[in-house]
């Protein structure tokens, strides 16, 4: 039986971890590779790096990060953040990334998901979807089959939740997997940072329509939040809760095991 | 001096990860692309990711199929990972019917071809991607002596070998039905899973395979 996955997420800029971390035991808490090794040793099932570098050197910096990670980390890892063309995906995969995560580029050019999965296989193309509950969006998306309608409850946002797109999140997830996305990384922008639990309703709505694994993100604040969300999806993404050592991967796994979820123990 | 392990570069995108993992467990890696270098190899490694047919076409293009087969049949050490495991069998139904090296009898099939309607109704996802458990059948080389079974390793694949009664089966894994997750002979270990992505235990497996060879 496949196990549920616990996935630490590291935000990096210019090759360094940003957003605070609380790793006094590490020589250099700002080094993403060192943090990645730490989580690997703790039993993390995968890792995600989200690169938020704004500079034009981004490509070179990201390649260096992936190369250094693949030298030292022997669990699957995903790289995301501003990946917008096939050549860049190829470079990152050859350097050792296992998957790439595509977010904004999928909204501006959905064909990229199709092309990327045709070239490299669905298993290495993760579609990242940032979502908020529909309020009063006036955005209009050119593809009718994924546009918001009267029954839509969740809308896709880009640029860290600042830009509404007019896309219905559930239809979008379905559309992206039809185009070849092998996984959906689903972030609730409403829940992100609240620590009051993942968005179960959103996650369930998406997981029930797509045939690929769904990784839930945003809102984890307690062990029960993690075991609850893993009853409706395949993996849980965690950031600050782990970075600030409020919980360890080991504690999370012990709890999930106790809750009788299939989980990998090391 | 460290023992040298020869990795065939036939276009597989996981080559670097495999090479790094092998170096980490204490071996020198030599990456090759020619017949002569395969003939000269002691331990030969075929990594692999992508489509079966493409991998075989690549081997054909390099003109190395007969020397790989001879290497294995002469009892020289071989480590195969993912496609490097699958191509050992006679054929695969991935994108039509394509011949493999035929070192072992049997074929590679899609999960959908072997799942019963009851299993299909469970809604299991393909590719089979993630961590899953190994059940031990036999361990002639002693690959798993240092680990406490059952362990979980990392898988990414849509096709598999389902003849779990085959005499070379080392471990099986359950995904809807049991499939072959690794095979062993006295001089060969090949796995459907990715030891290079299976954390500390994966490195341990690589280390014991290569040290036993």
CATH number at residue B190: 3.40.50.880
The torsion angles phi and psi of B143, rounded to 5 degrees, stand at -65, -35
- The number of distinct structural domains making up chain B is 1
When scoring A74, A124, A183 by the number of chain B Cβ atoms within 10 A, the one with the most, hence best to mutate, is A74
Residue B155 lies in a domain: yes
pLDDT score at B1: 55
- For residue B129, the chain A residues in CB contact (below 8 A) are 2, 123, 182-183, 213
A3 closest CB neighbour out of B17, B131, B196: B131
DSSP per-residue codes, B48-100: --S-HHHHHHHHHHHT-HHHHHHHHHTT--EEEETHHHHTTEEEE-TTS-EE-
Q: Which helix (H) or strand (E) holds A92?
A: helix A86-95
- Three-state SS across A193-255? CCCCCCCHHHHHHHHCCCCCCEEEECCCCCHHHHHHHCCCCCEEEECHHHHCCCCCHHHHHHH
Which tokens sit at A234?
A: 């395949």
User: Which residues 8-37 in chain A show a CB within 8 A of chain B?
Assistant: none
Q: Is residue B167 part of a domain?
A: yes
What is the SS3 assignment for B37? helix
Residues of chain A under the 50 pLDDT cut? none
d(CA A17, CA A12) in angstroms, rounded, equals: 4
| Per-residue confidence in pLDDT tens, chain B, 213 aa | 578 999 999 987 788 899 999 999 999 999 999 999 999 999 999 998 778 998 999 999 999 999 999 999 999 999 999 999 999 999 999 888 999 999 999 999 999 999 999 999 998 888 899 999 999 999 999 999 989 888 999 999 999 999 999 999 999 999 999 999 999 999 999 999 999 999 999 999 999 999 999
B132 at A interface, C-beta within 8 A: yes
By residue range, what is the domain housing residue B124? 5-95+106-212
Where residue A75 falls (left for φ over 0; alpha for ψ -120 to 50; beta otherwise) is: beta
Determine, for residues A123 and B127 on separate chains, whether the beta-carbon distance falls below 8 Å.
yes
Helix axes A169-178, A200-207, angle to 10 degrees: 30
CB distance A96–B197 less than 8 Å? Answer: no
Please list every residue in chain B whose beta carbon sits closer than 8 Å to the beta carbon of residue A43: 199
B121 contacts in chain A (CB < 8 Å): none
Cβ count within 10 A of residue A108: 10
Question: Taking the CA of residue A98 as centre, how many other CA atoms within 13 Å lie in the half-sphere pointing to its CB?
Answer: 27
Find chain B residues with C-beta within 8 A of A264's C-beta.
131, 152
Distance in angstroms between the alpha carbons of the first and the last residue of chain A: 16
The radius of gyration of chain A from alpha carbons, rounded to an integer in Å, stands at 17
Task: Specify the pLDDT at position A168.
Answer: 97
pLDDT of residue A190: 93
Asked if A74 has any chain B CB less than 8 Å from its own CB, the reply is: yes
Does residue B100 form part of some domain?
no
Tell whether A121 lies on the interface with B, counting CB pairs under 8 A.
yes
Total number of residues shown for chain B = 213
- The per-residue pLDDT for A139 is 86
Interface of B with A in 102-131 (CB under 8 A): 123, 125, 127-131
Judged by CB atoms closer than 8 Å, whether chains meet at A1 and B154 is answered as: no
A262 close to B (CB below 8 A): no
Contact A266 B200 (CB under 8 A): yes
Question: Nearest-CA distance from A136 to chain B in Å?
Answer: 36
Q: What is the pLDDT of residue A213?
A: 94
Distance from CA of B73 to the nearest CA of A (A): 31
From the list A2, A74, A213, the residue facing B196 with the nearest CB is A74
Closest residue on chain A to B147 (Cα): A266
B153 → chain A, closest CA residue: A264
Q: Which residue among A43, A71, A234 sits closest to B20, beta carbon to beta carbon? A: A71
Q: Give the whole-angstrom CA distance, residue A51 versus residue A241.
A: 19
Min Cα separation A66/chain B (Å): 11
> Which of B125, B130, B198 comes nearest A5 by C-beta?
B130
Residue B118 lies in a domain: yes
Is B82 in contact with B183 (CB distance < 8 Å)?
Answer: no
- Among residues B98, B128, B157, B194, which one is catalytic? B194
Residues of A designated as active site: 11, 130
Q: Which residue has the tokens 């139904």?
A: B93
Within 8 A of A1 by CB-CB distance, chain B residues are 132-133, 174-175
B71 is catalytic: no
* Measured distance CA(A89)–CA(A158) in Å, rounded: 20
pLDDT at A20: 66
Please say if B110 is a catalytic residue. no
Counted across chains A and B, CB pairs separated by less than 8 A come out at 76
Nearest to B16 among A3, A70, A182 (CB): A70
CB contact under 8 A, A2 and B13: no
Cα atoms found within 13 Å of the Cα of residue A135, Cβ hemisphere only? 5
Please state, in angstroms and rounded to a whole number, the distance separating the CA atoms of residues A102 and A240.
22
Whether B101 is covered by a domain: the verdict is no
Instruction: Give me the percent of chain A exceeding a pLDDT of 90.
Output: 74
């Amino acid at each position: 039986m496949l196990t549920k996955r616990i996935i630490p997420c590291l935000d990096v800029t210019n090759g360094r971890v940003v957003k605070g971390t609380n790793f006094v035991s590490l020589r250099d808490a700002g080094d993403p590779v060192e943090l990645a090794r730490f989580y690997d040793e703790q039993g993390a099932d995968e890792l995600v790096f989200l690169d938020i570098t704004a500079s034009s050197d981004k490509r070179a910096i990201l390649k260096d990060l992936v190369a250094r990670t693949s030298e030292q980390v022997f669990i699957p890892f995903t790289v995301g953040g501003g990946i917008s063309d096939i050549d860049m995906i190829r470079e990152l995969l050859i350097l050792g990334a296992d998957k790439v995560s595509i977010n904004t580029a999928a909204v501006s050019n959905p064909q990229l998901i199709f092309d990327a999965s045709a070239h490299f296989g669905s298993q290495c193309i993760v579609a990242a979807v940032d979502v908020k509950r529909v309020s009063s969006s006036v955005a209009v998306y050119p593809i009718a089959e994924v546009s918001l309608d009267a029954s839509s409850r969740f809308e896709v946002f880009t640029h860290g939740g600042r830009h509404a797109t007019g896309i219905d999140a559930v239809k979008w997830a379905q559309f992206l997997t039809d185009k070849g996305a092998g996984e959906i990384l689903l972030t609730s922008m409403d829940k992100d940072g609240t620590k009051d639990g993942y968005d179960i309703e959103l996650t369930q709505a998406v997981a029930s329509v797509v045939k690929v694994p769904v990784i839930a993100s945003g809102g984890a604040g307690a062990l029960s939040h993690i075991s609850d969300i893993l009853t409706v999806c395949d993996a849980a993404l965690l950031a600050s809760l782990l970075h600030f050592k409020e919980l360890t991967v080991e504690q999370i796994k012990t709890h999930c095991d106790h809750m009788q979820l299939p989980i990998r123990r090391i | 001096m460290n023992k040298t392990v020869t990795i065939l570069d036939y276009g597989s995108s996981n080559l670097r990860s495999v090479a790094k993992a092998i170096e980490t467990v204490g071996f020198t890696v030599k990456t090759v692309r020619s017949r002569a270098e395969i003939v000269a190899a002691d331990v030969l490694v075929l990594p692999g990711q992508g489509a079966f047919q493409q991998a075989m076409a690549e081997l054909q293009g390099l003109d190395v199929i007969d020397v790989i087969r001879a290497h294995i049949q002469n009892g020289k050490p071989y480590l195969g990972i993912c496609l490097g495991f699958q191509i050992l069998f006679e054929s695969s139904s991935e994108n039509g019917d394509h011949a493999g090296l035929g070192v072992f009898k049997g074929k590679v099939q899609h999960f959908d071809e072997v799942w019963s309607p009851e299993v299909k109704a469970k809604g299991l996802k393909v590719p089979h991607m993630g961590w899953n458990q190994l059940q031990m059948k036999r361990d002639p080389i002693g690959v798993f002596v240092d680990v406490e079974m059952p362990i979980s390793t990392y898988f990414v694949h849509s096709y598999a070998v389902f003849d779990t009664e085959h005499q070379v089966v080392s471990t099986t894994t359950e995904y809807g039905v049991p499939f072959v997750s690794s095979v062993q002979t006295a001089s060969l270990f090949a796995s459907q899973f990715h030891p290079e992505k299976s954390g500390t235990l994966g490195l341990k497996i690589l280390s014991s395979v290569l040290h036993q060879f």
